[in-house]
């Protein structure tokens, strides 16, 4: 009997040691491709002693990998950019609910769901050529569909999550039919077929290839802080408008993540998510990567973000954006915004 008890204690002790050892590492699947994030991971490792093993790839590749790995997936946390991408992972049933007083108290309710959390934000603003337009010409998203902007609009693809999330917000605020009418009007004003990323659109506006576009503030701040002469010249040619300031406010994109259901290191996963909401990490999102903190008490010290000034942000819950994403894509497809 004594030997059985001893054996049981040994097995329990061994399992406990294995669990403790397992909590000394974290497997992160990340679709954020920023070299500046290296400091986030190294600081977490220094503070906790937990080693971050990272795999980076495009969102769809990572999601497919997690699905194929199934219950044997080594992934603990999945992080990416935009609510629509996080919603896709949630729809696939990949995330596990996280009960954390830290996350609940630090991240505003509209910037989290039951299963995933935003850790930084960017605003989707209107950018115009100052030689061709005035700010009052393009004060609202609705203005981009007006006939006066015929052949003046440059845009990236309607299939990109940044635009899908914007459309999802318009569906909520205006209804699907009005949102589709807006998208059709914008598409009718295209100066060229959608191509390239946000930075390409900004440069096209600066060069006069088109007069107006929509871009994330992240890209604008990066150009403003660039040490390249051509980037500073481009920013001198364009103006920035915070849209819909008399209405719901400017649309917000997010970067965020959550813990996976099959996470083998759940304790480490929660610690990592809580770390991303810490003052240190929040400040780094702003100063290192031109994103706004989601924790209200944390103030950015980024000169480019501060130069853009204060604005009214749309406080629509990110979970609502996620629900409208599929309809948003259908609208873009119907109006030929591809």
What are the tens digits of pLDDT across the range 92-115?
Answer: 999 999 999 999 999 999 999 989
Q: What angle do CA 51, 53, 56 make, to 5 degrees?
A: 145
- 218 marked among binding-site residues: yes
Q: What is the pLDDT of residue 220?
A: 97
Residue 20 lies inside a defined structural domain of this protein: no
Q: Is the domain of 234 the same as that of 321?
A: yes
* Contacting residues for 68 by C-beta, under 8 A, at least 6 apart: none
Q: What is the mean pLDDT of residues 10-22?
A: 42
Provide the domain limits for residue 133. 121-251+313-335
The answer on pLDDT for 3 being more than 90 is no
CATH of the domain at 138: 3.40.190.10
Cβ 158 vs Cβ 336: under 8 Å: no
Same domain, 190 and 229: yes
What is the rounded distance in angstroms from the CA atom of residue 60 to the CA atom of residue 246?
37
- Domain membership of residue 198 (yes or no) is yes
Do 171 and 265 lie in one domain? The reply is: no
| 33 labelled binding-site residue | yes
Give the number of domains in the chain.
2
Give residue 7's pLDDT.
38
Same domain for 57 and 135, yes or no, is: no
What is the percent of the chain where pLDDT is above 70?
A: 93
Alpha helices in 192-262 (DSSP H): 198-207, 217-224, 229-237
Same domain, 220 and 329: yes
DSSP for 21-42, please give it. HHTTEEEEEE----GGGHHHHH
Q: 309: exposed, middle or buried (C-beta count within 10 Å: 0-12, 13-18, 19+)?
A: exposed
> Has residue 273 been placed in a domain?
yes
Residue 293: pLDDT over 60? yes
29 is in an annotated binding site: no
Dihedral (C-alpha) 71, 73, 79, 85: value to the nearest 10 degrees?
Answer: -60
Q: What is the pLDDT of residues 215-253, one digit of tens each?
A: 999 999 999 999 999 999 999 999 999 999 999 999 998
Task: Tell me the pTM.
Answer: 0.89
Q: How many helices (H) and strands (E) are present in the chain, helices listed first?
A: 14, 8
User: Does a structural domain hold residue 9?
Assistant: no
Residue 117, pLDDT above cutoff 90: yes
Q: What is the DSSP string of 156-171?
A: --TTSHHHHHHHHHHH
């Amino acid at each position: 009997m004594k030997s059985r008890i001893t054996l049981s204690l040994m097995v329990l002790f061994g399992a406990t040691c294995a669990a403790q050892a397992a909590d000394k590492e974290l497997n992160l699947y990340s679709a954020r491709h920023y070299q500046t994030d290296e400091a986030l991971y190294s600081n977490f490792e220094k503070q906790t002693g937990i080693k971050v093993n990272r795999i980076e790839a495009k969102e769809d590749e990572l999601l497919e990998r997690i699905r194929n790995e199934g219950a044997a997936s080594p992934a603990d946390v999945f992080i990416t950019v935009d609510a629509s991408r996080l919603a896709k992972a949630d729809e696939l049933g990949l995330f596990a609910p996280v009960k954390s007083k830290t996350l609940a108290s630090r991240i505003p309710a509209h910037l989290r769901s039951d299963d995933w959390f935003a850790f930084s934000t960017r605003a989707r603003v209107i950018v115009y050529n100052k030689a061709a337009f005035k700010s009052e010409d393009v004060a609202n998203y609705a203005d981009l569909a007006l006939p006066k902007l015929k052949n003046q609009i440059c845009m990236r693809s309607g299939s990109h999550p940044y635009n899908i999330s914007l459309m999802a917000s318009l569906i909520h605020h205006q209804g699907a039919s009005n949102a589709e009418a807006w998208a059709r009007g914008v598409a009718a004003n295209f100066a060229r077929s959608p191509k390239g990323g946000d930075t390409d659109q900004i440069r096209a506006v600066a060069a006069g290839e088109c007069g107006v576009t929509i871009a994330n503030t992240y890209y604008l701040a990066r150009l403003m802080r660039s040490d390249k002469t051509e980037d500073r010249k481009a920013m001198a040619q364009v103006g920035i408008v915070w849209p819909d300031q008399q209405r719901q406010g400017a649309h917000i994109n997010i970067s965020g993540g959550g813990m996976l259901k099959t996470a083998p290191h759940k304790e480490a996963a929660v610690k990592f998510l809580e770390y991303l909401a810490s003052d240190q990490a929040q400040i780094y999102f702003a100063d290192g990567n031109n994103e706004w903190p989601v924790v209200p008490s944390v103030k950015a010290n980024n000169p480019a973000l501060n130069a853009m000034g204060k604005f009214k942000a749309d406080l629509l819950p990110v979970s609502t954006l996620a629900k409208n994403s599929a309809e948003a894509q259908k609208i873009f497809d119907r109006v030929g915004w591809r």
